[in-house]
Structure 1
Amino acid sequence: MINHIRIENFAIIENTEIDFEEGLNIITGETGSGKSIVIEAISLALGSRADSTFVRHGASKAVVQLAGELDGEDIVITREVSAAGKNLCKRNGQLVTLGELSETCRRLADIHGQYDNQSLLNPDNHIKLVDSFHGDTILPLKESFSAAYTDYQAVKSKLNKLLSMEQDNLKKLDFYRFEQTEIENAHLMPGEDEVLAERVSILQNSEKIFAAIETSYRLLNSGEYSALSSLGTGLHALQDITSYSKDIQALSEEFADIYYRLEDLSSDLRKIREEVTFTPDELDDAISRLSLIDGLKKKYGSTIEEILAYYDKISEELNQIENFDDVKAQLETETAKAYEALSAKAALLSEARKSSARELETAIEQELHDLNFNSAKLSIDFRIPETIGPDGNDTVEILISTNKGEPLKPLVKVASGGEISRMMLAIKNITGTYDRIPTMIFDEIDAGISGITASIVGRKLHQIAKDHQIICITHLPQIAASGDTHYRIFKEETENSTFTTVQRLSEDETVDEIARLLGGENITETTRKSAIELMELTKKKIQ
């Protein structure tokens, strides 16, 4: 439940705090005094979207802090919204995301407003009521159905794609075969183009390469005074005197290392010299091969690897085209099996929904009778759609008759604003029970009702408040008289500012407030007596 809320610089509220109690908390006030602003502040604390327009004019930020209990533990929620639009969420002093906060608060409180009335008129939302009524049973079936639906859609998509390609396949067949043959005949090898490019460069410069290598090799090896011969003579001279000095021995070893490295280099030069040959035919063949590869690159990919990948792709498509009938038959079989499994899951889900709907019909109808719909009849209608959709094989709509002898009709064609408010109260009472939400907040629950019906709604709210904390904004004295704790919102003006304040009312102040609701701003002894009489009569009926 919600124990306390502090609102600072939120809209026209500068700074106010409210201690809520168990039972039915009633909030009243003049039109425009800021009643709905309190609900907006609570909604912000419970995870609704923040807006910089919430920040009071002239303030840097708005702060809403809510303290309560959830699952037996204390919880403190803080929301801050800056004038610059920055948003901060905290749970028990720790920063959390808006999604994490909303997930927590969804279990703490439920807010009902005008939007809920409109959503009830939309048949698309009726299936959600049925599914949530016995959620423990239906949710696993929905998850199982959703998995089957995903599998069916996947294989059906493959089949549809294949069928859509059927006409194009005939056009592609000859073209793909030509491309496949062209790439096959090239006998490409990965990296071949790089090797060929290097070979062409060597062949085109073979005379220059040979001359340079020959010169280097001759300087190292040819003649009595070649580099290697001279170095060998020097090495032998040093080796003869290594025993006389460690330094000379070290130099001799370095000298020997250089000599042997030059010998290896000489051997490598000899091998390259012997391999450097030049024939015009070899050069022409290499250039021709590179030209062929470059031509394939322009058609199928910028590298040989990409060309080969393209070859694999068209080969796979060719295989599919050439074996179209076999692939089609296989996908049709898989689709039929997936649809059969989907239909079975949908049937189980539908059966569970219909069982839930029968109990929900009875529960809502009983609630409506309690809310002065004495002759109301309600039915949850099931229809089979043309195709199984993501919600199953059911189209669900609530039908109602509010008067004897009238046929059942859709809510949107029957219910007035006041009737919709009462229906939503009935549904909230039921859903609040199985959702185990500790706090229920009602804004505009009294829209379109008055008189006896208002008294009945007040008693129903008081009844619900035995199992839930209720916070209710109202302008009707009959509902206010049913409250356990009363608050009045009023607006004060100074020369430069407007302030909204929330005041907890004493018993005498509650009488005055209900008298104001009965007779207007001027409270007389007559209206006070009427207020006392209404409160006493209400207490007798709710005991």
Structure 2
Amino acid sequence: MIEEIRIADLGVIGAAHVALGPGLTVVTGETGAGKTMVLTALSLLLGGKADPATVRTGSAGASVEGRVVLEPGHPALERASDAGGSVDDDGSLLLVRTVSAGGDAGSGRSRAFVGGRSVPQGVLAELAEQLVTVHGQADQARLRAPAHQRAALDEFAGPEHARTLTDYRDAWSGRARLQAELDELVARAQERSREAELLRLGLAEVERVDPQPDEDVELAAEEQRLAHAEDLRVAAATAHTALAGENDGASDALTGVELVEQARRALEHVASHDATLAELGRRVAEAGYLLADIATELSAYADDLHADPRRLEVVNQRRAELGTLTRAYGSDVAEVLDWAQTAGLRLLELEGGGQRIEDLRTELADLDARIAALAATLSATRADAAQRLAAAVSAELAGLAMAGAQVHVEVRPADQPGPWGADDVEMLLVPHAGAPARPLAKGASGGELSRVMLALEVALAHGAGADRPGTFVFDEVDAGVGGRAAVEVGRRLAALAGDAQVIVVTHLAQVAAFADRHLVVTKSVREGVDVVTASDVRSVTGDERVRELARMLSGQEDSDAARIHAAELLELSDVGR
């Protein structure tokens, strides 16, 4: 239930406090007084579009604050909590919307708050779906649309039907996804075949060459050795001679190893007399051992190294083969091997495309059968609900001064099934006995459509298993209605308010007389500018309420005849309820 709304600088409203409550609340006032701005404020709280043009002239921005009282466990509380909002100890939730004025850079922006936390505008809209049902003249026009009529029937059909409809929509969406995947696979079949063939050729070439990890690096090193074998042998032999001398000992020159050995012996001879020379002697000895080992390895290297043109040719040929692979599939053998692994997995995927197509066709066939079964269930429950809804709305119309009027709800097979099922739904109105049934879209006047919408709303509110928001807002639901019909509209609104909070903006005294709370928006003038202040939106009772009803009846609140009529309406509303 919406407990209160505070408005600041919205349209002609400078500041207003709209106190609401349970039951039926009506909002009345002269044209231009600001009734529309009250609904605009409510729309902002419910996530409606923000228009900078609605900001009061001369103000930097407008703000609307609403307090909603919810029962523990209400789904709106969970959504608010998910958004980071907090709930007061008394179970009330604070909603705030601000709109900045246009004209400056970055102006016209809107901000929303839930439970003290800034949230996207969409969060307010989500909460609105769980809190409030709004009906205005635009909704009456939408009632002419078959899709709107089908949605109303689905709502009336109850929660089990709603679950079936959800299952159907999920299946329908799933089918669309599978069909899109199948269409893509079929469309790309030739392209996939070409890709698979190229991968097979590439993998066959890699398999033929059979490159080994780091083979290209090793072959490059071997090629360098073989291509410069004589230079390498001469260098190794020369280094060996310098270190260890010729094997035949013909040279009288001391070798590097021998010179180091002389140094070692000289130092060793005096090592006992000085620790520093002893340490240097040890290091010279280590150098001698190292030089001897190097000399041995150089000798072995020179003995093993021979020019081998045939091996060089084999190495160069192998490197050429590897080069062909690396030019096509990577910069080196490592990248070629990585490509081969990835290509193998991709080839498995491509070769499985045909099987995937068959699997998809099987899945689609199964899903089509499920969709057909769910559609049949929806059609059956809609046909049953259509009879009950037609009876309920027709009964309500009888009480809305449309004696003999009937509403027929027809459920027919659609030309093509859709995400809503396989049915077209159409509501037809028989406005009076003996009149032909004609579609609401063509045969209903504005006044008749207003009463049909109200009758439908009452039927939905009391429908079997209906799960409806706890607040209903009607904007001039009585448009095109007058006389006894207006009285019955008021009576039905009061009946609807027996189980919910109902807020009505009306210009008919016959409707306003049935209210539990009557709010009047009046216009005052300050310095030539229309302003509605907090004191101008007030709850009227007693004689003040009689005066307001008299004004609505005749435009003259002080007319004795109008006041008598107003008192009679109030008495009639008490008796009628």
TM-score normalised according to structure 1 size = 0.81
How far residue 159 of structure 1 moved from its aligned partner, in angstroms, is: 4.8
Match for 1:287: what amino acid?
A: A
CA contact (8 A) 1:81 1:88 kept: yes
How far residue 485 of structure 1 moved from its aligned partner, in angstroms, is: 2.0
Hey, what's the Cα distance between the residues in 2 that align with 1:258 and 1:131? Answer: 101
Match of 1:10 in 2: 10
Q: Provide closer, same or farther for how the CA distance between residues 472 and 154 of structure 1 changes in structure 2, counting only shifts above 3 A.
A: closer
CA contact (8 A) 1:6 1:65 kept: yes
How far residue 412 of structure 1 moved from its aligned partner, in angstroms, is: 0.0
Choose from 319, 330, 336 the match for 1:286.
Answer: 319
Q: Provide closer, same or farther for how the CA distance between residues 231 and 400 of structure 1 changes in structure 2, counting only shifts above 3 A.
A: farther
Choose from 140, 143, 147 the match for 1:124.
Answer: 147
How far residue 105 of structure 1 moved from its aligned partner, in angstroms, is: 3.8
How far residue 25 of structure 1 moved from its aligned partner, in angstroms, is: 1.4
Match of 2:485 in 1: 453
Match of 2:127 in 1: 104
- Asked if 1:428 corresponds to 2:461, the answer is no
- Asked if 1:181 corresponds to 2:175, the answer is no
Q: Provide closer, same or farther for how the CA distance between residues 475 and 184 of structure 1 changes in structure 2, counting only shifts above 3 A.
A: same
TM-score normalised according to structure 2 size = 0.77
Match of 1:203 in 2: 223
Equivalent position SS for 2:418: coil
Hey, what's the Cα distance between the residues in 1 that align with 2:284 and 2:66? Answer: 84
Q: Provide closer, same or farther for how the CA distance between residues 457 and 291 of structure 1 changes in structure 2, counting only shifts above 3 A.
A: same
Choose from 62, 85, 93 the match for 1:75.
Answer: 93
Choose from 399, 412, 416 the match for 1:383.
Answer: 412
How far residue 469 of structure 1 moved from its aligned partner, in angstroms, is: 2.0
Q: Provide closer, same or farther for how the CA distance between residues 121 and 222 of structure 1 changes in structure 2, counting only shifts above 3 A.
A: farther
How far residue 492 of structure 1 moved from its aligned partner, in angstroms, is: 2.8
Structure 2: 5+ residue stretches without partners: 73-90, 102-106, 245-254
Within a 5 Å distance, the mapping from 1:121-270 to structure 2 comes to 121-161=144-184, 164=187, 168=190, 177=197, 180-181=200-201, 183-187=203-207, 196=216, 199-200=219-220, 203=223, 223-224=243-244, 225-226=255-256, 230=260
Hey, what's the Cα distance between the residues in 1 that align with 2:385 and 2:281? Answer: 99
Question: Can you list the C-alpha shifts for 1:82-114, whole angstroms capped at 9, x where unaligned?
Answer: 343444333333444434443334333222112
Of the structure 1 ranges 44-53 and 250-259, higher mean CA displacement relative to structure 2 is found in: 250-259
Match of 1:505 in 2: 540
Q: Provide closer, same or farther for how the CA distance between residues 290 and 361 of structure 1 changes in structure 2, counting only shifts above 3 A.
A: same
- Asked if 1:62 corresponds to 2:62, the answer is yes
Match for 1:441: what amino acid?
A: V
Hey, what's the Cα distance between the residues in 2 that align with 1:359 and 1:136? Answer: 15
Hey, what's the Cα distance between the residues in 2 that align with 1:31 and 1:268? Answer: 113
Q: Provide closer, same or farther for how the CA distance between residues 152 and 46 of structure 1 changes in structure 2, counting only shifts above 3 A.
A: closer
How far residue 75 of structure 1 moved from its aligned partner, in angstroms, is: 2.4
Q: Highest CA radius of gyration, 1 or 2?
A: 2
Equivalent position SS for 1:78: strand
CA contact (8 A) 1:28 1:473 kept: yes
How many percent of aligned residue pairs carry the same amino acid?
Answer: 27
- Asked if 1:407 corresponds to 2:441, the answer is no
Match of 2:379 in 1: 350
Match of 1:374 in 2: 403
Hey, what's the Cα distance between the residues in 2 that align with 1:527 and 1:477? Answer: 11
- Asked if 1:515 corresponds to 2:550, the answer is yes
Hey, what's the Cα distance between the residues in 1 that align with 2:347 and 2:257? Answer: 61
How far residue 37 of structure 1 moved from its aligned partner, in angstroms, is: 0.8
CA contact (8 A) 1:193 1:293 kept: no
Q: Provide closer, same or farther for how the CA distance between residues 94 and 229 of structure 1 changes in structure 2, counting only shifts above 3 A.
A: farther
How far residue 488 of structure 1 moved from its aligned partner, in angstroms, is: 1.8
CA contact (8 A) 1:41 1:64 kept: yes
Number of residue pairs aligned between Structure 1 and Structure 2: 532
Match for 2:374: what amino acid?
A: K
Alignment RMSD, CA only?
4.5
Q: Provide closer, same or farther for how the CA distance between residues 41 and 180 of structure 1 changes in structure 2, counting only shifts above 3 A.
A: same
CA contact (8 A) 1:177 1:318 kept: no
Hey, what's the Cα distance between the residues in 1 that align with 2:344 and 2:429? Answer: 65
Hey, what's the Cα distance between the residues in 2 that align with 1:187 and 1:216? Answer: 40
Equivalent position SS for 2:519: strand
Match of 1:467 in 2: 499
CA contact (8 A) 1:458 1:480 kept: yes
Of the structure 1 ranges 354-363 and 303-312, higher mean CA displacement relative to structure 2 is found in: 303-312
Match of 1:489 in 2: 521
Match for 2:62: what amino acid?
A: A
Of the structure 1 ranges 24-33 and 197-206, higher mean CA displacement relative to structure 2 is found in: 197-206
CA contact (8 A) 2:27 2:504 kept: yes
CA contact (8 A) 1:23 1:470 kept: yes
How far residue 365 of structure 1 moved from its aligned partner, in angstroms, is: 1.9
